Structure 1
Amino acid sequence: MKKKTFVLVIIALIAVSFSSMAQRVDRTNFKAGIHAGVPFGDISDYSNFEIGLDLGYHWALSELVDVGLATGFMNAFINNDTVDFGPVVVEGDFPNIQYIPVAAAFRLYPTYDFKLGADVGYAVGVNDGNTGGLYLRPIIGANVSGNTEINISYVKVSDDYDFSMVALGILFLF
């Protein structure tokens, strides 16, 4: 009798585990959103505002961990027609600084409403003269509703110059 009860409890626990993982996967598949950022470091000499698009696809490994892919578009607006490179001042029509990140994503969920994570990969330079570089984006997020998340992140692209910013974003989960 004890053995039969034990087997039934194990089967029930496995069923609950699979159903909760299935709910988790449904909640975190495709993500799309926007963010706005304030550049600092070298890039702050040329730009004071950035806006971007965030896209991602995540797979739940467990209730606590997601992995996935992240991409999107980042556009830092150049704030003047004169760029100062120390002793050299260059005048002209400078393009906005643009990147398309291609990254692996990792998220840790200490609670249902709170998440920590990072996107790590390469940011492809879009505008002329932009070579791209290593892309790193640690993120802290919170659920506003069942399918909406707000987040704050630090973005770093290791290019020929220091492209760094702090961004505030909103994501919609599908």
Structure 2
Amino acid sequence: MKKIILSVTLMMAVFAAFAQTTREIEDINDDNSWLKLGLNLGVPVGDIGDYSSFAFGFEVAGQFMRTDNFGLGAVSGYTKYFKNSDVAGTQDFGAIPLGLMLRYYPEPSGFFVGTDVGYTFLTGDILSDGGFYIRPQVGYHNYDWNIFAFYNQVFTSDPAADIQTIGVAATYNIRFK
């Protein structure tokens, strides 16, 4: 997992280094910044897959295009992990991420890669209150929509409570005016 985190971080740094023109935060307008609202659906994997059968949530993010190809922003939301009905004593629980969003868009429309990194707060009957998370993703985007696949992992203080999810998500872009 450390290799994945290092690789994604290095990839983002290289993309940012090759950027031609950068924008300052004062330059926010409807051409380079937007609010993303969306839904996600996931399947818990690893140990948590024994206790939760699927996850469903919403997400919200504010994105600023620092260059024509590199976007950054803040992301949050809520994902509910539904209990596995085959295992007695399990309960639903929730995850509230608060993180930094990094995206690389090679073209104005087409495929993109990115990651979210930050801290996830866990709610409900689970062994941990939260932990560092990373969510690499690859997908398709256009002016209005982003559709992507992701892997999400929350690293808790108790490795037995780490949460790993594979899923898909779609977000709609609302332009800042």
Please tell me the TM-score bracket, short chain as reference.
Answer: 0.7 to 0.9
CA distance in 2, matches of 1:81, 1:55: 32
The answer to whether the 8 A contact 1:24-1:63 is kept is no
CA distance in 1, matches of 2:106, 2:29: 18
Query: Does 1:156 pair with 2:153?
Result: yes
- Write the letter of the residue equivalent to 2:150: S
Identity, % of aligned positions: 29
CA distance in 1, matches of 2:43, 2:31: 33
Higher Rg: 1
TM-score normalised per structure 1: 0.75
The answer to whether the 8 A contact 1:148-1:170 is kept is yes
Structure 1 segments of 4 or more deviating over 6 A? none
For residues 145-169 of structure 1, what are the alpha-carbon distances to aligned partners after superposition, in whole Å with 9 as ceiling and x for unaligned?
Answer: 5211211100001123221111111
Counterpart of 1:170? 170
State the number of aligned residues.
143
Counterpart of 2:91? 95
Query: Does 1:53 pair with 2:58?
Result: yes
CA distance in 1, matches of 2:95, 2:29: 34
Greater Cα offset, 59-68 or 156-165: 156-165
Q: Where does the alignment leave 5 or more consecutive residues of structure 2 unmatched? A: 1-20, 22-27
TM-score normalised per structure 2: 0.74
Shift of 1:119: 0.4
Structure number with higher strand proportion: 1
- Aligned to 2:67, the other structure's residue is in SS state coil
What value does the CA root-mean-square deviation take over the aligned residues? 1.9
- Aligned to 1:63, the other structure's residue is in SS state coil
- Write the letter of the residue equivalent to 2:129: T
CA distance in 2, matches of 1:23, 1:142: 20
Task: Determine which of 66, 69, 72 is the counterpart of 1:64.
Answer: 69
- Aligned to 1:44, the other structure's residue is in SS state helix
For residues 31-88 of structure 1, what are the alpha-carbon distances to aligned partners after superposition, in whole Å with 9 as ceiling and x for unaligned?
Answer: 0000100111111111121111111001111101011000001111111374xxxxxx
Q: Where does the alignment leave 5 or more consecutive residues of structure 1 unmatched? A: 1-13, 15-20, 83-90
Shift of 1:131: 1.0
